Each structure stands twice: as structure tokens, then as C-alpha cells.
Amino acid sequence: MIAEKMKGLVANSSAIRAMFEEGNRLAGIYGAENVFDFSLGNPNVPAPEAVKKAIEDLVENEDPLVLHGYTNSNSGYADVREAVAKSLNERFGTAFEGKNIIMTVGAAGGLNVILKTIINAGDEVLTFAPYFGEYRAYVNNFDGVLVEVSPNTVDFQPKLDEFEKKITPKTKAVIVNTPNNPTGVVYSEETIKKMAAIMEAKQKEYGTEIFLISDEPYRELVYDGAEVPYLTKYYDNTIVGYSYSKSLSLPGERIGYLVIPDEVADSEDMLSAANVANRILGFVNAPTLQQKIVKACLNEKTDISYYDRNREALYNGLKECGFDCIKPEGAFYLFVKSPVENEKEFCEAGKKYNILMVPGSSFACPGYVRLAYCVSYETIVNSLPKFAELAKEYF
């Protein structure tokens, strides 16, 4: 009785559920502390204390009709949108106004809003493998076609020669995700400049507009002083999708925003259409209490040092075991080369040691596995002897 489009998605989802249940099953047998579940990208650093204070302050002092009411605009509270714009301008030297910001139900909501806004059936959306598997579903929601550029497994920067060849007159958008899930790689400024030049040239060649959608849930999670270029400064048709899920550890609260700068083609129409899309997709508006919370916490950040310690420990430990992996500059993932071609076999082998990893195939990059190190430091430390045993099967 379910829709045809849903059938494959449900089957695929069962695989993810199976992994989740496997984790629970192992925890039941061996105890949660002896299961090394690196499968989920769920922040384990609590929200900053300032979030709690903001909530307490808001329920005490804000009119409940404002705090919990419909926003006048589906794009969110004017004061929140202005505060977000101001904060971005201060950090990145941009010149956004409140009207350029649309508060959204997380980045996932924001991506669906912008795709609804611009995609006609059959339009192509390019992205670079490895990529967050949900992009395929999001593009499919609007009958777009996701076109992938194959992975560059040397350093996981995008393959720009292949990218250039795959842009066609039907290319409506390009989605980039930097810092990247699943590799943790930050696309360099050089990469961004070259990518922008290619897109500019293709726009001219085809007489089309090609939108660069920057999916940025990991922007604040960078290490070693890495800089994440702000993409609107490199390419006019850039739209940013942001989420506070990781930066404020609020993933369940579904709060983020879109930026549609004035430089974007037909930006006024785009803003109106995105406002309507936010409404008719059923989001209506981003949760109002959360809008006010993030306004109060714009200068807060999650505790990066916690993730950084995990990153160092896991990266170094895996290298010592003989595993091959580039050291990521951002997010909370390691993307490790599978010692055997079929990485699903490797994931199965890991389970013998109660180690749970996600196959790279889920990110269109077989031969690799993703480890999410947003776990306790103890989990990392305790997992390393197990990884050493696992490594002995291969090296």
C-alpha cells in the first residue's frame, strides 16, 4: 500500500535499523561499555550551559504567545534573522540582512526547502562522492536527478576535471559539504576558487544559472586552526544551509537556517519562493523557542577540544595498528581505508570485536568505512586493543 518511490527507501532503511539493533544486541550481551559503536553522528558533547540559561530566561521573561506562537513570516522571527545576519557579517565580512536569512527545521529542512524552490523534474544536481547519502533522497523528493562525481581517494578534495565534464545544461545545482561527512576533509580555498571558476564558465557557456548549495552543519567543528572558506564570497549563486545540531549540540531540536544572498539570481523571487516552500512542505516555521535560543547563543560553541582529543587518539591508534586514513581537519568522522576491497566484509569482521562501522558504500565510496568519533574518550581508548586484534587479521 505504500508509494512506489518509498519502497526502495524502506528496504535501505531496514539495513540501517539492522545496524542499530545489532548495537543494542551486542550491548545486551557484552555491556554497553564493551561495545564500540562508531556508527552514529550524534554529538555526545552536551549543549553549552548558555543554552540552558537561555531557555530559563526565555520561559521566565518572554511572552508565551511570542515564544510559542506562529511567526509572522514563515521564514522566522525578524529579530532572530537579523541577529544571524549580523553575526555572519561580523565573522565572514559578508553583507547579509535579516531578509536573506530563512530559519529552517535544521539543515535537512533547509536543503529540502531550497531544492523545492529551484528543482524541476529532471533537473540535475551534482555532488562529490563520498557524500551524505540523504542527498539522494532529498533530490528525489522533487524528481531531480543526483549526479555524482567519483571520489578522489588521494586527499578527498573534489575531482574538478570530472566535475567540469559532468556539468550539463540540465545542471541546476551543486551540493558541497565542507567540513565533509564522511571524510572530515575541509575543501581548500584553492578548490573552491577553481570550482567557482568552472561554474562561472559553464553558466556562461550554457546561459543557465547553476546554484552552489553549501551544506554546513560541521562549519564550527574544525581543528588545527583550519579555515573553512565562506562560499558566498567566491561565487554569486551560492546558497548556504546551516544547522545548530553540531555547533550547539541541538540535533534533536531541528534548528538551522538558509542564507540566500542578494547576489543570487532572482534573489527576491527565490526568497519569496523559499518562504512558501518552508510553509507548504509542512515545516511552517522553524521551532520558535529554538529560534530564540540560538539568537541568545550566537557566540556560543560546543567544546571542540573534546572531539579533538578523540580525533587524535583514534587517528593515531588506527595508524599504529597499520590502518590507512587521512587525518581530517573537521567534523567528527574518520574515513578509513578498508584492508579488503569489499568494505562490508571488513565491517562484519569488526563486529566480532564489537566494533561497529558504516560501510563507505553508504556514502558512494566503497572500499572505505566511516568511524564517527563523537563517542566517549573511554570508548576510543578501550576500542584500540580491539582494533589491534582486528588489524592482525589483515596486516
Binding residues for a copy of itself restricted to 65-94, rule: CB under 8 A: 65, 67-72
Kindly state whether residue 361 participates in binding a copy of itself, applying the rule CB under 8 A: no
Kindly state whether residue 131 participates in binding a copy of itself, applying the rule CB under 8 A: no
Q: Tell me whether residue 276 or residue 391 sits nearer to a copy of itself (CB atom).
A: 276
**Nearest approach, Cβ of residue 48 and a copy of itself (Å):** 9
Kindly state whether residue 116 participates in binding a copy of itself, applying the rule CB under 8 A: yes
Kindly state whether residue 200 participates in binding a copy of itself, applying the rule CB under 8 A: no
Kindly state whether residue 110 participates in binding a copy of itself, applying the rule CB under 8 A: yes
Kindly state whether residue 289 participates in binding a copy of itself, applying the rule CB under 8 A: yes
Kindly state whether residue 141 participates in binding a copy of itself, applying the rule CB under 8 A: yes
Binding flags for a copy of itself, 24-53, as an x/- string (CB under 8 A): ----------------x-xxx-xx---xx-
At residue 144, what is the residue type?
A: G
Nearest C-alpha neighbor of 350 from the set 386, 303, 312: 386
**The length of the chain, given as a count of residues:** 395
The three-class DSSP label of residue 162 is: helix
Residue selected from 191, 275, 354, 383 as contacting a copy of itself according to rule CB under 8 A: 275
* CA 216 – CA 239 distance, rounded (Å): 11
Sort 114 into a burial class: Cβ within 10 Å, 0-12 / 13-18 / 19+: buried
R_g of the chain computed on alpha carbons: 21
Q: Tell me whether residue 138 or residue 323 sits nearer to a copy of itself (CB atom).
A: 138
Kindly state whether residue 303 participates in binding a copy of itself, applying the rule CB under 8 A: no
Which CA distances in Å does 76 have to 61, 73, 83, 288, 293? Answer: 20, 6, 12, 8, 13
**What is the strand order of the sheet 211-215 is part of?**
101-104, 256-259, 238-243, 211-215, 171-176, 124-128, 145-149
Kindly state whether residue 249 participates in binding a copy of itself, applying the rule CB under 8 A: yes
Binding residues for a copy of itself restricted to 317-346, rule: CB under 8 A: none
How many residues make contact with a copy of itself (CB under 8 A)?
Answer: 77
Nearest C-alpha neighbor of 336 from the set 392, 387, 393, 389: 387
Which CA distances in Å does 296 have to 54, 79, 291, 340? Answer: 6, 11, 9, 49
* CA 219 – CA 180 distance, rounded (Å): 9
Kindly state whether residue 253 participates in binding a copy of itself, applying the rule CB under 8 A: yes
Kindly state whether residue 261 participates in binding a copy of itself, applying the rule CB under 8 A: no
Binding span for a copy of itself by CB under 8 A among 82-90, 108-116, 193-201, 343-351? 108-116
Kindly state whether residue 277 participates in binding a copy of itself, applying the rule CB under 8 A: yes
Q: Which grid cell is 95?
A: 553583507
Kindly state whether residue 301 participates in binding a copy of itself, applying the rule CB under 8 A: no
- The greatest distance separating any two alpha carbons of the chain, rounded to the nearest whole angstrom, comes to 64
Q: Tell me whether residue 14 or residue 168 sits nearer to a copy of itself (CB atom).
A: 14
Which CA distances in Å does 371 have to 10, 32, 184, 328? Answer: 24, 17, 10, 12
Binding span for a copy of itself by CB under 8 A among 58-66, 306-314, 350-358, 385-393? 58-66
Centroid of chain to Cα 194: 22
Binding span for a copy of itself by CB under 8 A among 6-14, 31-39, 81-89, 361-369? 6-14
At residue 247, what is the residue type?
A: S
Residue selected from 85, 100, 109, 131 as contacting a copy of itself according to rule CB under 8 A: 109
Q: Tell me whether residue 131 or residue 323 sits nearer to a copy of itself (CB atom).
A: 131
Residue selected from 227, 269, 345, 389 as contacting a copy of itself according to rule CB under 8 A: 269
Residue selected from 254, 295, 311, 370 as contacting a copy of itself according to rule CB under 8 A: 254
Q: Tell me whether residue 336 or residue 356 sits nearer to a copy of itself (CB atom).
A: 356
Q: Are 208 and 357 in contact (CB under 8 A)?
A: no
